[in-house]
Chains A and B, each alone.
Chain A
Amino acid sequence: MPTSESEEYPHSIAEEKLDLKRENNRKASLQDLMEYEVVFQMPPKKKYSIEIDVINISKAKPKIFLPDAI
């Protein structure tokens, strides 16, 4: 009586397929875990020019907050 390959070697074929699937999954998840050095520049939503009248230029002064406990 003829038997199919999977009936003759049911374990090995199934295991091979499973191993392949596991390997592919492992590769995929390793790729997903990689950190990518991706940089992209998005333009602003809107851009326009204005004229500013500068009336004062002064050196900034520090604004220091001490923690409450001190």
Chain B
Amino acid sequence: MISYPWYEIVDADEVLMQGDFICSCPVIVASSSIGYGKISADIFEYDVIIMSQSCDIAHKKLNNILVSPIWPISDVELKYDFLKSRRGKEALRQGNLPGYHLINRCELDGFEADFQVVDFRNVYSVPLDFLVDLSKRNGKRLRLMPPYREHLSQAFARFFMRIGLPVDIDLFHE
């Protein structure tokens, strides 16, 4: 029987791909007024997963890479009660929480992780060269495998293209 593993570990110098995990990726948020000279800026660090298409990255057709923050489900549960419930987790698993995507546990040595939640609502774009450099410094990294990678990408597309109707059709009642 063919097994379809969710993850593989790749070397630091492998080309970045969609579905690669980058630990502690800094995002710079500059103060509201930007001018010449010294300004203060906040750095937010997130564990992220690459959302940009692999072929765009490989052919350097992007200056910036789109990344989504990820969190262990246990961290999200602490912040949001709904996800403690079976119904909440089931809704997440079935893809009924637009904006969020569940990925499986990882049991690979050195990369053990619980279920993780990908946040599509707060995506960031990080300069490609910077991300390449950071990933090399971080060492080996985890990569989401097909078809789970494409499933993630599709979930993002579904979230991004959704349309809220100003006047929806009423619920059907029995």
Number of A-B pairs whose CB atoms are under 8 Å? Answer: 92
A45 interface residue per 8 A CB criterion? yes
Question: Contact: A40 with B79, CB < 8 Å?
Answer: yes
Tell me the A residues contacting B by CB distance below 8 Å. Answer: 31-42, 44-55, 57, 63, 65
- If A31-B87, A42-B69 touch, does A47 touch B44 (CB 8 Å cutoff)? yes
**Of A33, A35, A37, A42, most B-chain CB atoms within 10 Å:** A42
In the bound complex, CA of A40 to CA of B119 (Å): 9
Number of interface residues of B (CB under 8 A): 40
Residue contact B100 to A38, C-beta cutoff 8 Å: yes
Q: In the complex, what residue of chain A is closest to B71 when comparing beta carbons?
A: A42
Question: Complex: how many Å from CA A16 to CA B106?
Answer: 44
Query: Can you list, as one digit per residue, whether each of B32-43 has a CB less than 8 Å from chain A (1) or not (0)?
Result: 001111111111
14 cross-chain CB contacts under 8 A = A33-B94, A35-B91, A38-B97, A39-B99, A42-B76, A44-B27, A44-B45, A44-B69, A46-B44, A46-B45, A47-B43, A49-B43, A51-B38, A54-B39
A33 to B87, CA, bound (A): 10
Task: Establish whether residues A57 and B45, one from each chain, have CB atoms under 8 Å apart when the complex forms.
Answer: no
A45–B37 alpha-carbon span in the complex (Å) = 29
Q: Are A36 and B91 in contact (CB under 8 A)?
A: yes
B148 contacts A by Cβ under 8 Å: no
- Cβ-defined contact, A47 with B42, below 8 A: yes
Which residues of A sit under 8 angstroms from B88, Cβ to Cβ? 36, 38
Complex Cα–Cα for A35 and B97 (A): 6
Closest 9 CB pairs of A and B: A44-B44, A46-B45, A40-B80, A35-B96, A65-B61, A45-B45, A38-B97, A52-B41, A51-B38
